[in-house]
Structure 1
Amino acid sequence: MNNKKLILVGLIFILLGIILGAMGAHYLETIGIVEEQINSFKVGTSYLFYNGLGLLALAGVVDKFDFGILSPFRSIFWGTLLFSVSIFLLVLGKPLLNLNLGKFIGPVTPIGGLIMILGWTVLLVKFLRTYRS
C-alpha cells in the first residue's frame, strides 16, 4: 500500500469535511434545512474528518506493520464515502434536486457505516495477530 495514497485520501477527506462543515454551519439554514437534518449533515462531515485524520495517522505507522492494509483501506475508503455521501444526499436531495431520496439512499448510510467499521476492525485484528511485546 502506497503511503502517498493514504496521505492523499486523508487530506481530501479532511478538506471535504472542513468545506462541507462550513457549508452546514452557514448555508443549510438559508435553504430551509431544519436543525435535525443539519445535525445529520454534521455527522457526515465529522466522519469524513475523523477518517481523514485516521488515514493520515495510518500513513505515519504503516511501515511498521508486517501485514498488508489494502483491504482495510478499501473498506475504510468506501465505507466513509457511502456513509457520508448518503447523508449529504438525504439532506440536500429535496431542496437542491427536488428529489426525495430517502427510500433509495436511506439504507446506504448504515451499510456504509458497517463497511467503515469493518475496515478499522480488520486493521485492528491484523495488528493484534502480529503484535509482539
Structure 2
Amino acid sequence: MNNFFLQAGSLLGAIGVMVGAFGAHALKPMLVASGRFETFETAVRYQFYHALALVLVGILAKEFTAKTLNYSGYCFLVGTLIFSGSLYLICFTGITTFGAIAPIGGTLLVVAWLLLFWTVLKR
C-alpha cells in the first residue's frame, strides 16, 4: 500500500465533508445569491470522487508496482487541488478568471484515470 495516497485521499475526503457541510449550511445564502451554488457543489463532488480514487490508488499500490500507478496518484492529487480549488476560488472571490485554470485540473484528472487504466492493462 502507498500510505501517502491513502493519507492524501483520506484528508481530501475529510476536508470535502467539512467544506460541503459548511457550504450547504452557513454559505448557502451567499452562494445562491451569487449564483455559485452549483459551482460549489461541483467542486465538492469532484473532490470526493477523486479522494476515493486516491484511496483506491493507495490500496492498489500493494498489488501493482508500476510507476504509472504513482503517476496516476499524483495526477489525481494535483488535478483535484487545481480543479476543485479553482472552483472554490471562483465561489469565494467572484473572480471568474480562475475558471481558466479548471481545465488544467480536469485534464490531469483524465490523465490520472487513463494512467490507472494503463497500469491495470499492462499487468
Against the structure 1 CA distance between its residues 7 and 32, is the aligned structure 2 distance closer, same or farther, given a 3 Å change threshold?
closer
Most deviating of 116-125 and 32-41: 32-41
Quote the RMSD (CA, aligned, Å): 1.8
Matched, 1:117 2:116: no
Matched, 1:106 2:99: yes
**Alignment-derived partner of residue 93 in structure 2:** 93
Most deviating of 39-48 and 25-34: 25-34
Q: What CA deviation, in whole Å up to 9, does each residue of 1:45-67 have, x standing for no partner?
A: 11111111122122222211141
Most deviating of 50-59 and 26-35: 26-35
Matched, 1:83 2:87: no
Structure 1 residue 32 displacement after superposition: 5.5
Bigger Rg over Cα: 1
| Structure 2 runs not aligned, ≥5 long | none
**Alignment-derived partner of residue 98 in structure 1:** none
The whole-number CA distance in structure 2 between the counterparts of 1:73 and 1:84 is: 16
Amino acid at match of 2:88: F
8 A Cα contact 2:64 2:119, kept in partner: no
Against the structure 1 CA distance between its residues 60 and 32, is the aligned structure 2 distance closer, same or farther, given a 3 Å change threshold?
closer
Identity percentage over the alignment? 25
Structure 1 residue 84 displacement after superposition: 0.3
The whole-number CA distance in structure 1 between the counterparts of 2:93 and 2:104 is: 19
The whole-number CA distance in structure 1 between the counterparts of 2:35 and 2:117 is: 33
Which residues of 2 match residues 1-133 of structure 1 at below 5 A?
3-31=2-30, 33-34=32-33, 36-68=35-67, 69-94=69-94, 101-103=95-97, 105-130=98-123
| Structure 1 runs not aligned, ≥5 long | 95-100
The whole-number CA distance in structure 2 between the counterparts of 1:57 and 1:72 is: 11
Between the two proteins, the alignment pairs up a number of residues equal to 122
Structure 1 residue 19 displacement after superposition: 0.7
**Alignment-derived partner of residue 97 in structure 1:** none
Against the structure 1 CA distance between its residues 28 and 87, is the aligned structure 2 distance closer, same or farther, given a 3 Å change threshold?
same
The whole-number CA distance in structure 1 between the counterparts of 2:10 and 2:47 is: 10
